[in-house]
Amino acid sequence: MVRTTYSLADLPEGSTGTIRDIDALSPTARRLLDMGFVPGTPIKAIKRAPMGDPTTYEIRGYLVGLRRTESALIDVEIKPDVK
Amino acid sequence: MSNKITANSRNVYLVGNPNSGKTSLFNAITGERHRVGNWPGVTVQKIEGITETANGRLIVNDLPGTYSLTPATPEEEIVLKTLDEAATGIIINVVDIANFERNLFLTTQLVELGVNPVVSLNCFDSFTRAGGSIDLQKFSAFTGTTPFPTVARRGEGVSSMIEHLSRPESIAVECCNNMLVLPDLWKKAAEDVLACQGLKWASATPVQRYNALRELISLKPLESDIKIQEIRRQLAAQLSQGREKPVKVIDLACELASDRYRRIEKLIAACATIPGKSIPPWQEKLDTVLTHRFLGLPIFALMMAWVFWTTFSIGEIPMGWMESLVEMAGDFVKANMQEGLLQELLADGIISGVGGVLVFIPNILILFFWIAILEDSGYMSRAAFIMDRMMNSIGLHGRAFIPMIMGLGCNVPAVLATRIIDNRFQRLLTMLLIPLVTCAARLPVLVLLCGTFFPENPSTWMFSLFFVNLLVLIFLGHMTSFLFKSVENSPFLLEMPPYRLPTAASVWHMLYEKAMHFVEKAGTVIMAGAIVIWVLSVFPREVPLSFDYEAELAALKSQTVTAETTEQIAALTHKRDIEQMEGRYMARIGKLMHPVMAPLGFSWRETVSLIPGFLAKESVVSTLTVLYLPYDEDLGKGMSKTGMNKLSAFVFMLFTLLYIPCIATLGVVWRESGSTKFTALSLVVYFVIAYLVSFAALKIGEALQASNGTAAEAVTIILAGIFAGWYLLRTLLNTFVGRQCNSCAGCSSCPSKSSDCQG
């Protein structure tokens, strides 16, 4: 079976997913919600930094870099047709 | 706050996302008339500007940039704290229209709370160029705000906005179909919460309304009132109607944020056309190169080398002019004033104090010229992105790399450069670590001392000093970020703004502000410190001498000049100088402090020499030379004659390297941190670290020398060495190869949970 749900931290470079869930218990997640990381929003992993962390993502038309500690709070879904 | 609203003066507050052009707009409105202070209670910089209009004066407050009213840092808290006060004045919400949805989130929050801001739709040029369009009338009607298209970087659209702000009657907007207001369910729930506190929505202040909403989505529901919990449950149940998956109470925050974004999407669909592709392809290409896996680091390294070289090598030329100017002024005073205390104060105290401040200006200007360009062009965020992994390994933000590397040249501009880090905790941590970076001024001291004590292999010893220094730096970084992990929980969000061409105006603003700020704030502290040290080193004027040197000297001088008498005169003068020096306050303080330093194996002369070292580290050597003159012309020989050996010399150098930053650095840290407590605490930290490290080095060295001996000691030393090496290596390895993040406690809590988690 093809895996469709990833942690955002594991979303491969260059692929687009849809935010499915976000860890509601984390204060960091609150800020991410305010910045538009709400369920249903498409997000694209653009690039990992040369040393493997952080990673830039494109969401709602802007670019933002997140460390693994932040991106791991978010679950994304990759639909085969989106990819 | 201090400014009362009078008939012809109004308060204007700028709020907006970071990178929305808020500061550019502020500069465009107010020009150069700024007043910099602190927000009450917190040490966050408060910037206020004034502009005069035909209808009176506008006092403009630049509030810290924030993505949301819900604060994540002390800076952002200011926005919420000021909200009630701001609602009585005019709020300008700066919205980067090229990044419309996310910027409108803050606008939505404001509108929900009943605040109707003036909206500056900034970066309007790139929006229309990319093919976007907006119906301003509809936007105004659907949001209840007054929109103004602006290009703050070039000052376009600003004058009509100022014109509007100054007209008293035009602030309120009639609104019939506001799309951003709270949905009824939420408003009803918020009203219920307010009712529990005896308040009404209609009469509550914006902050009270905000707090009611916050109760609804609070993270810790168990702590809140039972009534409020009931309201939350009801709200969740109502929201669940007609959905497949019921809404849990804990998901209310997510629901509210989603709902806001739904309203924003609807609003945009109703009044604007957003360009399909917001990031132009050339920017993507540039990004690919600049953050490339292999090319990114070398490009960044080249840029840093260029910045470093121009700052400190080119900067040396105007520095030389300044130095000779100061010298000329001093000579002029000495030549044209009567000899005496006043002349000395002017020439040695004040003029050299001023010189000590001015000498930093070329470095600061050049460094900030590049920082302004890097920041404005958008490259700074990319640099932080590249370096973050490495800096994170010692608990720092990626943006801390530039200040740290500049510290190698001079700590003073480096501390000023911490301004590029927007998070206050991170900024303080970087400021704490910068003085442990060996600056160029410390090098000659090390070269000299190592050359004196270890003539056969000075470079080996210098290298080992650097090694210990680096260990201390990394260790302190680790420790602080470990200790304060719970305090510091603001998320790491590195926004990558689009690449832009820097404008002359913003570069000029940065340079002007930096230079003025430095001279005004830090300059005064540095000068005062220099004068205090000078006073300590020349007072008391009359030192009781053990022997009437003057009479003897006079007698010698009256004799016929022979080789013998000249020698005697020189010897006597030396002796007199030393006795005088010992009598001054500085030496007295040194001797007073000596018992503390004695365990490190110093004689009182070393302790005394550390005090002028506070002014500038190179003074340590010159003071020592004078103090050891009676024993030997050569400092090294003199020291060994009085019982100092290579070991104590090494310990002394180590201590000199670590003990305290120079007064200029300290002054800048004090001003930039805005906290006396932080500055005092960091001084204690440096001193304690220097003491402990030196003491350990002394003990290890003693054990090494004494032993040839007991196996236990040898083992201890070897273990300590191995441990230090391992610690350093591990940090480096983690940085460059390891994927293990520093932020999780172990595999079980590791977010990646994958097989490569090594614990």
Q: Comparing C-alpha atoms, which of B7, B17, B215, B200 is closest to residue B107? A: B17
Q: Comparing C-alpha atoms, which of B539, B563, B197 is closest to residue B348? A: B539
Cβ atoms of B679 and B670 within 8 Å: the answer is yes
* Residue A82 resides in a domain: no
pLDDT tens digit sequence for B177-197:
788 989 999 999 999 999 988
A and B: number of Cβ contacts within 8 A: 155
Let me know the angle formed at the C-alpha of A75 by A69 and A77, rounded to the nearest 5 degrees: 140
Alpha-carbon distance A47 to nearest alpha carbon in chain B (angstroms): 8
Owning domain of residue A38: 5-77
* Average pLDDT estimate for B725-733: 74
For residues B239 and B639, give the distance between their C-alpha atoms in angstroms, rounded to a whole number: 82
A contact residues 61-80, partner B, Cβ 8 Å cutoff: 61-70, 72-73
Structural domains in chain A (count): 1
Report pLDDT for B170: 55
Torsion angle of the four alpha carbons B230, B231, B233, B234, in this order, in degrees rounded to the nearest 10: 120
Q: What residue in B sits closest to A20 (Cα-Cα)? A: B254
Residue B241 structure tokens? 């109607």
Cβ atoms of B424 and B44 within 8 Å: the answer is yes
For residues B423 and B71, give the distance between their C-alpha atoms in angstroms, rounded to a whole number: 12
* Average pLDDT estimate for B654-680: 88
Contact across the interface for B100 and A61, Cβ inside 8 Å:
yes
pLDDT tens digit sequence for B553-572:
777 777 777 777 777 777 77
Q: What residue in A sits closest to B103 (Cα-Cα)? A: A35
The closest CB to that of B751, out of A9, A40, A46, belongs to A9
Q: Which residues of A touch B102 (CB under 8 A)?
A: 35-36, 60, 62
Q: What residue in B sits closest to A7 (Cα-Cα)? A: B752
Which CATH superfamily groups domain B9-170? P-loop containing nucleotide triphosphate hydrolases (3.40.50.300)
Report pLDDT for B742: 43
Q: Which residue has the higher pLDDT, A77 or B742?
A: A77
Lowest-confidence segment of A40-49, B271-280, B725-734 by average pLDDT: B725-734
Write down the domain spans for chain B. Answer: 9-170, 184-273, 279-314+360-440, 584-736
Q: What residue in B sits closest to A22 (Cα-Cα)? A: B254
pLDDT tens digit sequence for B589-618:
888 888 888 888 888 888 888 888 887 777
Which CATH number does the domain housing residue A24 bear?
Answer: 2.30.30.90
Contact across the interface for B105 and A35, Cβ inside 8 Å:
yes
Cβ atoms of B409 and B440 within 8 Å: the answer is yes
Contact across the interface for A27 and B489, Cβ inside 8 Å:
yes
- Using CA of residue B418, residue B423, residue B428, residue B430, what is the dihedral sign? negative
Contact across the interface for A65 and B287, Cβ inside 8 Å:
no
Contact across the interface for A39 and B489, Cβ inside 8 Å:
no
Chain A contact for B291 (CB, 8 A cutoff): yes
Chain B contact for A9 (CB, 8 A cutoff): yes
Q: What residue in B sits closest to A28 (Cα-Cα)? A: B491
SS3 sequence of B73-93:
CHHHHHHHHHHHHHHHCEEEE
Residue type, B229: Q
Q: What is the mean pLDDT of chain B?
A: 82
pLDDT tens digit sequence for A26-61:
888 888 999 999 999 999 999 999 888 899 999 998
Report pLDDT for B74: 78
Residue A7 structure tokens? 């942690």
Report pLDDT for B204: 92
Contact across the interface for A34 and B494, Cβ inside 8 Å:
no
Chain B contact for A36 (CB, 8 A cutoff): yes
Local structure of residue A12 (DSSP, 8 states): P
For residues B462 and B450, give the distance between their C-alpha atoms in angstroms, rounded to a whole number: 7
For residues B220 and B73, give the distance between their C-alpha atoms in angstroms, rounded to a whole number: 19
Q: What residue in B sits closest to A6 (Cα-Cα)? A: B752
Indicate if the pLDDT at residue B756 is higher than 60: no
The closest CB to that of B752, out of A10, A30, A31, belongs to A10
Local structure of residue A17 (DSSP, 8 states): E
**β-bridge mates for residue B109, sequence order:** none
Indicate if the pLDDT at residue B657 is higher than 60: yes
Cβ atoms of B89 and B115 within 8 Å: the answer is no
3-class DSSP state for residue A21?
Answer: strand
Task: Tell whether ipTM is more than 0.90.
Answer: yes
Chain B contact for A7 (CB, 8 A cutoff): yes
Q: Comparing C-alpha atoms, which of B232, B198, B200 is closest to residue B215? A: B232
B37, containing H or E segment: strand B34-38
- What's the first-to-final CA gap in chain B, in angstroms? 51
pLDDT tens digit sequence for B687-697:
999 999 999 88
For residues B559 and B170, give the distance between their C-alpha atoms in angstroms, rounded to a whole number: 94
Q: What percent of chain B has pLDDT over 70?
A: 89
